[in-house]
Amino acid sequence: MTTHDSQTIALPRDTNVDRAWWKEAVVYQIYPRSFNDSDGTGVGDIPGITEKADYLDELGVDVVWLCPVYDSPNADNGYDIRDYRSIMDEFGTMTDWEALRDALHERDIRLIMDLVVNHTSKQHVWFQKSRRCEDGYEDYYHWQDGDPDEPPNNWQSIFGGPAWSYDEERGQWYLHLFDPEQPDLNWRNPDVRDAVADVVTWWLEKGIDGFRLDAIDHLSKADGYPDGDSDEPITGLEHFSHGPRLREYLTELATAFEGYDTMTVGEMGGADIEQVDEYTGEGGLNTVFQFEHMGVTAGPDGPWDPEQFGEWDLTDLKEIIGQQQGEIDWPALFFGNHDQPRLVSHFGDDEAYREESAKLVATFLLTLRGTPYIYQGEEIGMTNDVFSSLDELDDPMTVGIVEELLEEGAIDTYDDAADLVNHRSRDHARTPMQWSDEPNAGFTTGDPWFAANENYTDINVESSLTDPDSVWNHYRRLIDLRHDEDAFVYGEYDDLLPDDEQLYAYTRTLGDERMLVVLNWSDDTATLDDLVVETSHAEVVLSNYDGVSDDPSAGSFDPYEATVYRVGST
């Protein structure tokens, strides 16, 4: 039995909401390489996505965010772009891409692309020209003189190792905040900014509906490239995140969007909650991915702390979500993506309560204020995989960081990091989408580029569609509910039990309409006593358990129960 402190809640009655389609949308993120292979090459492709347009429509999503499909040598699975205006051969052709765009639009699903302009591939023609110092391209990247054995400063790459590599051809160091194959563009150069704006216009003219902007908080680097504080988890981050000219660059970039009906969401891995609104609104981005809640499972040395990871307290999550809900003008809501562990493994119980906890996190995602993002596979409760050696990994970040831990002596062998990798690696999110119990999860008839999680025989789309109680059907109902109830989109969020370690209860109130969400985020039963909200007219609108009472204080909540009530008029 748990007890709860009461608190008073202020209820706004103003229903004059500032509507926008991108606020009311539910977004579905596709990592094309792992989504669906149409031609048996073992690699997911664009026609494979088009084949699934009806699937997306049935799920009820409004927008697809397509991870990079541009021509790329794939040092980082497409996040290293060689040509912004052409499609990667493995994924198909521009005609295939146009067919996908049209298939989505015919179903009223919008399409946003991934704009990766903090860096390019080393094979991009801009880098090729820059390393040869060709006229006009000398300063397209961050070049620094120096002894070939001594990088210009102590900055670390986000993927592990130094952030500088020496280029023999030019005889200088170049900066790469990610892989050495991903040199950072020099945004101080107005020609670079113009060239990026041209890319944006080119794609907008092709009829897309916006962009997710990759690693966008890193565009501006501190003048003089000062050394960073080596006690921080990533040395130098304070000098290459939220740099002095970031807002100026974003404002300039925003002019390329003028006159188009688009949405933008910027990935800002290092943004504090207070910083988000600096970059959004008039002349900025529409929204920003703020990552603080994803860090609740991290240790003191960050998400890759080999000593401490995975443990977390519900009250910490509530505090962060409360701040995001209260302080960010329009939050971008997510609990997983292609860089994160699988949502149910990260925030739920992927064993005994896999279905219940996957539905619970889904309920949370789809009843908060902001624009929700569903990552492929979440809708069937896909889980983390198990990787027992470095050879089984693909992700350059995981490999780079494990190698760095080995080098620093923080671990002696891969086995010392295996639990961390099996908790955290980006590879978990990149195992093929589990369509059926056919070989390779029905993802490909060929040899898959990356092995499917063996649990596909139990967890797959085909069986989910026919089971009315599946995680998939729960997502569909939640999406419908969100579309039907403005209170979930625009309503005020109030946390009723900020100090409770087991139950998360909050209301969403819009004018006279009030919804109550109660999540038992634990594998024990829980009871609710002092709910400071009137529930005499409460009725259940959705739950992940059967036979739930309309009165939230009548009985107990089952493990990972997630129940949504209409508590009626305020």
- Considering the complex, state which of residue 336 and residue 559 has its C-beta at the smaller distance from ligand GLC: 336
Number of other residues whose CB lies within 10 A of the CB of residue 282: 6
For the CB of residue 177, give the shortest distance to ligand GLC in the complex, in Å.
Answer: 8
- Considering the complex, state which of residue 9 and residue 75 has its C-beta at the smaller distance from ligand GLC: 75
Q: Torsion angle, CA of 280/335/394/200, rounded to 10 degrees? A: -20
- Considering the complex, state which of residue 22 and residue 178 has its C-beta at the smaller distance from ligand GLC: 178
What do you get for the CA distance between the two ends of the chain, in Å? Answer: 28
Question: What DSSP string describes 367-432?
Answer: HSSSEEEEETTGGGT-------SGGG---HHHHHHHHHHHHHTS-SSHHHHHHHHHHH-GGGGGSP
| 267 counts as catalytic | yes
Classify the C-alpha dihedral 505-373-484-382 as positive or negative: negative
Phi, psi (5° rounding) for residue 362? -60, -40
For the CB of residue 76, give the shortest distance to ligand GLC in the complex, in Å.
Answer: 5
Distance CA 497, CA 504 (A): 6
Does residue number 339 form part of the binding site for ligand GLC (CB under 6 A)?
yes
Contacts with ligand GLC by CB under 6 A: the residue count is: 9
For the CB of residue 289, give the shortest distance to ligand GLC in the complex, in Å.
Answer: 9
Binding residue for ligand GLC, selected from 184, 214, 379, 427, defined by CB under 6 A: 214
- Considering the complex, state which of residue 178 and residue 387 has its C-beta at the smaller distance from ligand GLC: 178
- Considering the complex, state which of residue 83 and residue 98 has its C-beta at the smaller distance from ligand GLC: 83
Question: Which residues, 6 or more positions from 288, have their beta carbon under 8 angstroms from its beta carbon?
Answer: 265, 266, 267, 268, 271, 276, 279, 280, 328, 332
Rg (alpha carbons) of the chain, rounded to whole number: 24
Distance CA 408, CA 400 (A): 12
Is the distance from CB of 118 to CB of 158 less than 8 angstroms? Answer: no
Does residue number 542 form part of the binding site for ligand GLC (CB under 6 A)?
no
Q: Binding string to ligand GLC for residues 451 to 490, with x set by CB under 6 A, is what?
A: ----------------------------------------
For the CB of residue 316, give the shortest distance to ligand GLC in the complex, in Å.
Answer: 23
Does residue number 178 form part of the binding site for ligand GLC (CB under 6 A)?
yes
Options 167, 214, 339, 395, the catalytic residue: 214
Residue 468 is encoded by which pair of tokens?
A: 């009315």
Does residue number 506 form part of the binding site for ligand GLC (CB under 6 A)?
no
- Considering the complex, state which of residue 79 and residue 330 has its C-beta at the smaller distance from ligand GLC: 79
Binding residue for ligand GLC, selected from 63, 175, 192, 215, defined by CB under 6 A: 215
- Tell me which DSSP letter residue 44 carries: -
For the CB of residue 264, give the shortest distance to ligand GLC in the complex, in Å.
Answer: 15
For the CB of residue 68, give the shortest distance to ligand GLC in the complex, in Å.
Answer: 8
Residue 77 is encoded by which pair of tokens?
A: 């699975």
Distance CA 116, CA 252 (A): 17
Amino acid in the structure at residue 402: V
Does residue number 240 form part of the binding site for ligand GLC (CB under 6 A)?
no
- Considering the complex, state which of residue 192 and residue 489 has its C-beta at the smaller distance from ligand GLC: 192
Binding residue for ligand GLC, selected from 79, 187, 257, 304, defined by CB under 6 A: 79
Tell me the sheet residues that pair with 553.
Answer: none
- Considering the complex, state which of residue 339 and residue 495 has its C-beta at the smaller distance from ligand GLC: 339
- Tell me which DSSP letter residue 339 carries: T
Options 167, 267, 339, 355, the catalytic residue: 267
Q: By three-state DSSP, how is residue 13 classified?
A: coil
Does residue number 332 form part of the binding site for ligand GLC (CB under 6 A)?
no
Distance CA 462, CA 564 (A): 27
The residue nearest ligand GLC at its CB is 79
Tell me the sheet residues that pair with 513.
Answer: 510, 569
- Considering the complex, state which of residue 338 and residue 477 has its C-beta at the smaller distance from ligand GLC: 338
Distance CA 374, CA 55 (A): 14
For the CB of residue 221, give the shortest distance to ligand GLC in the complex, in Å.
Answer: 16
Distance CA 179, CA 176 (A): 6
Does residue number 334 form part of the binding site for ligand GLC (CB under 6 A)?
no
Residue 434 is encoded by which pair of tokens?
A: 């589990």
Does residue number 492 form part of the binding site for ligand GLC (CB under 6 A)?
no
Amino acid in the structure at residue 147: D
Residue 528 is encoded by which pair of tokens?
A: 């609710």
Q: Binding string to ligand GLC for residues 254 to 273, with x set by CB under 6 A, is what?
A: -------------x------
- Considering the complex, state which of residue 215 and residue 401 has its C-beta at the smaller distance from ligand GLC: 215
Binding residue for ligand GLC, selected from 116, 333, 479, 542, defined by CB under 6 A: 116
Residues in region 10-29 near ligand GLC by CB under 6 A: none
For the CB of residue 285, give the shortest distance to ligand GLC in the complex, in Å.
Answer: 15
Number of other residues whose CB lies within 10 A of the CB of residue 4: 18
For the CB of residue 118, give the shortest distance to ligand GLC in the complex, in Å.
Answer: 7
Q: Minimal CA–CA distance to 344: which of 377, 379, 381?
A: 381
Phi, psi (5° rounding) for residue 428? -60, -40
Does residue number 513 form part of the binding site for ligand GLC (CB under 6 A)?
no
| 238 counts as catalytic | no
Binding residue for ligand GLC, selected from 76, 356, 394, 513, defined by CB under 6 A: 76
Number of other residues whose CB lies within 10 A of the CB of residue 360: 27
For the CB of residue 271, give the shortest distance to ligand GLC in the complex, in Å.
Answer: 13
Q: Residues interacting with ligand GLC, by CB under 6 A?
A: 76, 79, 116, 178, 214-215, 267, 338-339
Q: Which residues are catalytic?
A: 214, 267
